[in-house]
Amino acid sequence: MTLGNAATRAMENKVVVVTGAGRGIGREIALLMAAHGAKIVVNDTGVSVSGDPGSETPGDEVVAKIVAQGGQAVASRDSVAEWSSAQRIIETAMDSYGSIDCVVNNAGILRDKIFHQMSPEDWEAVVRVHLFGSFYVSRAASGRFREKNGGTFVHMTSASGLVGNFGQANYSAAKLGIVALSKSIALDMARYGVRSNCICPFAWSRMVGSIPNTPDQEARLAKAKSVTPDTIAPIAVFLASDAAAGVTGQIFAVRLNEVFVMSQPRPIRSVHRSEGWTQEALAEHMLPTLKSSFSPLDRSADVFSWDPV
Q: Which residues are catalytic?
A: 171
Q: What is the distance between the terminal CA atoms of the chain, rounded to a whole angstrom? A: 23
Q: Which of 268, 289, 108, 114 is nearest to 199 (CA)?
A: 108
Residue 16 contacts residue 40 (beta carbons within 8 Å): yes
CB-count exposure of residue 201 (10 Å: 0-12, 13-18, 19+):
buried
For 99, 167, 270, the CA distances from 115, given in Å and listed in that order, are 43, 6, 32
Number of other CB atoms surrounding residue 278 within 10 Å = 11
Q: Is the dihedral of CA 53, 54, 58, 60 positive or negative?
A: positive
Residue 263 contacts residue 179 (beta carbons within 8 Å): no
**SS3 of residue 158 by DSSP:** coil
